[in-house]
Amino acid sequence: MKKILILLLLVIATNNVYSQGIAPEINTLINKEFESGKGIKIEKIKLFSSDLEKVFAIDIYFAKTKIYDTTEYGTSESSTGDDKIFGIKDSKIVVSVEPSSADNLGEFVPYIKKDFILKTYKDAQIFEVAIDMLFPAWDPYKKQIIQKGNKWFFIRADFFDDKSGYEVKVDGNSKITSIEHKLRLDI
């Protein structure tokens, strides 16, 4: 009985480590997005970087679910694969996407800061660091940034003989109007 109590306290303490620094209402908001059950814990991390803050007008969180199983041999954990990225504004979830699908970056377009422009290579580097935090490049050695007209191409990998990544369109004021993931970028 004493071992079970110690293991239970360890599991609770582990869960709290990942939720530290997150406001209780945000913690509850994210927890509601997952089906919880016995032995399921949700680890939450607020993503932060100066570049992320320069680009997006929302707070961004990463949540990962884990299953804890306690037996006479100890506690084991495994991932459920139900990871999510949340964009939160005014204590409301405005974006909820799976990090395994790079196609979802376009859902963040309405939440790009009004003063962020994609006009220079330096702006593109800031944007690339921000998207790397959400959807890391598959092959960091293949990353490139190319600009053609009102389109910016953020190459993430090779796809056979083609380049794969994001096509980002900007308007006449260099404001981002769309982000589309493409297996074959038309460069």
18 has a pLDDT exceeding 60: no
102 belongs to a structural domain? no
105 belongs to a structural domain? no
Domain span including residue 43: 2-96
Q: Do residue 20 and residue 69 come from a single domain?
A: yes
What is the pLDDT averaged over residues 60-85? 80
pTM: 0.78
Burial 65-98 (b: 16+ CB within 10 A, else e): bbebeeeeeeeeeeeeeeebbbbbeeeebbbebe
∠ Cα 159 123 112 (to 5°): 85
Burial of 165 (0-12, 13-18, 19+ CB in 10 A): buried
Show which of 49, 70, 96 is a domain's final residue: 96
- pLDDT tens, position by position, 75-115: 777 776 678 999 999 999 999 998 877 677 889 999 999 99
The pLDDT assigned to 137 comes to 86
106 belongs to a structural domain? no
The pLDDT assigned to 7 comes to 32
The Cβ of residue 166 has, within 10 Å, a number of other Cβ atoms equal to 22
- pLDDT tens, position by position, 127-170: 999 999 998 888 888 999 999 999 999 999 998 989 999 999 99
29 belongs to a structural domain? yes
Q: Which amino acid is at 145?
A: I
Show which of 35, 62, 96 is a domain's final residue: 96
14 belongs to a structural domain? yes
